Amino acid sequence: MELLPKKSSSRMAMPRETAVSIAHNVFLLLDGWVWTCVLAADEAARLLRSATH
């Protein structure tokens, strides 16, 4: 059972450079988000350690 019809042409929906640029920007966004989460977790752990001593 095929859900999506096959395209008759082999052309991409967008130029390869555009797709690479979008992927790069998404990677940078996720990298920044993960870095922020790691910093917040590190700070929370530091506060918890100092509160127990």
Residue 24's Cβ-side half-sphere holds a number of Cα atoms within 13 Å equal to 6
The full set of domain ranges for the chain reads 17-53
Q: Evaluate whether 48 touches 40 at the Cβ level (below 8 Å).
A: no
pLDDT at res. 38: 97
The per-residue pLDDT for 48 is: 94
Give the whole-angstrom CA distance, residue 53 versus residue 45: 13
What does the pLDDT look like over 18-45, one tens digit per residue?
A: 999 999 999 999 999 999 999 999 999 9
Which pLDDT belongs to residue 24? 97
Task: Identify the pLDDT of residue 26.
Answer: 97
**Global model pTM greater than 0.75:** no
Helix/strand/coil (H, E, C) string of the chain?
CCCCCCCCCCCCCCCHHHHHHHHHHHHHHHHHHHHHHHHHHHHHHHHHHHHHC
